[in-house]
Amino acid sequence: MNHTTTVAAFCILIFMACGPKNTEDTTASETTEATTDTLRYPEETHLANLKQLTFGGDNAEAYWSSDGQSLVFQATREEWGATCDQIYYLDTREAVDPNKVPALISTGTGRTTCSYFMPGDTTIIYASTHLADPACPPVPERSVDGKYVWPIYESFDIFVADLEGNIVAQLTDEPGYDAEATLSPKGDKIVFTSLRSGDLELYTMNIDGSDVKQVTTGLGYDGGAFFSPDGTKLVFRASRPETEEEIATYKSLLKQGLVQPTDMELYVCNVDGSELTKVTDLGQANWAPFFHPSGEKIIFCSNHKSERGFPFNLFMINLDGSGLTQITYDSAFDSFPMFSPDGKKIAFSSNRNNGGTRNTNLFVADWID
């Protein structure tokens, strides 16, 4: 595989926001003494004081605590003992130490995904396969019949753990995939993706796992959902197969526990699923959406401007689909954006400053509207 193809495959490979990721880790060293804002491209006028938080491995889906001081994230890094994604926690107020291993929140067994702070910032919700098997689940071939795919592990269930890594609750025990859980800013509801209906749909539940309600019903994968700042709306990514061939392919792959995630658009709806609106119609992969603190815009990752599958960069768009604006300008991969609760900072993952390796690291910056 030539360099261009390798980078493209890698960029596509890791866009599983709040979903399972197949990743490769390269142990080559990378720069660890980056000066503030030398990491920012000149066009990135919405970012200031950009700082790198991790230095090696595959680090993604970093989500803020309610006080805007800590991040919980998932990482694959063999030198940490994480041969597939595990959940870690770090305090952004501490000095960055490239050699320090962050606190492990998950069990260290199975594969995990999509962690999020629960009310009070003393517990974390995340999905894990560890009950089915302490080993990392097998990774399927990257493509089936020439179509890029990623796995929907039926052994994923949703758990709550304290900051010492002790599991204090299991919120789902239905057969099949339950994952991609995030919390409402109101602190009362969780949204997650489940296969319990036979299709990958969004559901909500109370923070104790009760009162489960189905939100979406359209055929296709619905996932990576987040609440609006006022807790009244949801934004999510979705595939919507329409032709007979697309529908047949989607259903066939789903029976094999696979999804083809290369054609997705963004949608917004009320928490109960009403007033469903398609926000983007850009083509290719539009995903990892998160509400701007105003609740009137969405920041997201997209490769819609890319002719070869990459780069992926961050964009902003109004809820009515107008005002599309590019935010980041990396040559490979920027994704998983999340605003701090006060809207003053943004965390995201990027391939920048990785010394030419495939490493994906966490970054945090001041946000400039």
Query: Is 233 inside a domain boundary?
Result: yes
pLDDT for the residue numbered 12: 41
pLDDT for the residue numbered 220: 97
Query: Is 28 inside a domain boundary?
Result: yes
Query: Is 312 inside a domain boundary?
Result: no
Q: Which long-range contacts (CB under 8 A, 24 or more apart) does 133-141 make?
A: 134/109, 134/110, 135/109, 135/110, 136/83, 136/84, 136/110, 136/111, 137/84, 137/110, 137/111, 139/22, 140/257, 140/258
Other Cβ atoms less than 10 A from the Cβ of 231: the count is 16
pLDDT for the residue numbered 201: 98
pLDDT for the residue numbered 144: 66
Query: Is 307 inside a domain boundary?
Result: no
pLDDT for the residue numbered 94: 92
Mean pLDDT of 255-261: 92
pLDDT for 365 beyond 50 = yes
pLDDT for 121 beyond 60 = yes
pLDDT for the residue numbered 308: 75
Report the amino acid identity of residue 97: D
pLDDT for 48 beyond 60 = yes
Query: Is 103 inside a domain boundary?
Result: yes
**Which phi and psi angles does 254 have, rounded to 5°?**
-65, -35
pLDDT for the residue numbered 18: 65
pLDDT for the residue numbered 35: 54
Mean pLDDT of 28-34: 47
Query: Is 113 inside a domain boundary?
Result: yes
pLDDT for the residue numbered 22: 42
Q: What CATH number is attached to the domain comprising 239?
A: 2.120.10.30
Mean pLDDT of 121-139: 96
| pLDDT category of residue 141 using cuts at 50, 70 and 90 | confident
52-81 pLDDT, tens digit each: 999 999 999 999 999 999 999 999 999 999
Count CA atoms within 13 Å of residue 47 on its CB side: 27
Query: Is 166 inside a domain boundary?
Result: yes
pLDDT for 93 beyond 80 = yes
302-313 pLDDT, tens digit each: 999 988 778 999
For residue 81, the enclosing domain spans 3-36+65-300
187-237 pLDDT, tens digit each: 999 999 999 999 999 999 999 999 999 999 999 999 999 999 999 999 999
The vertex-292 CA angle with 105 and 149, nearest 5°, equals 60
Residue 266 tokens, joined: 């963004």
pTM here is 0.91
pLDDT for the residue numbered 9: 41
Mean pLDDT of 171-198: 97
Other Cβ atoms less than 10 A from the Cβ of 80: the count is 16
Report the amino acid identity of residue 88: Y
pLDDT for the residue numbered 367: 98
pLDDT for 16 beyond 90 = no
pLDDT for the residue numbered 17: 54
**Mean pLDDT, all residues of the chain:** 90
259-270 pLDDT, tens digit each: 988 899 999 999
Q: Which residue has the higher pLDDT, 270 or 36?
A: 270
pLDDT for the residue numbered 283: 92
Contact in structure between 17 and 290 (CB atoms under 8 Å)? no
Domain count of the chain? Answer: 1
Lowest mean pLDDT among 16-20, 107-111, 243-247, 319-323: 16-20
Query: Is 346 inside a domain boundary?
Result: no
Mean pLDDT of 250-278: 95
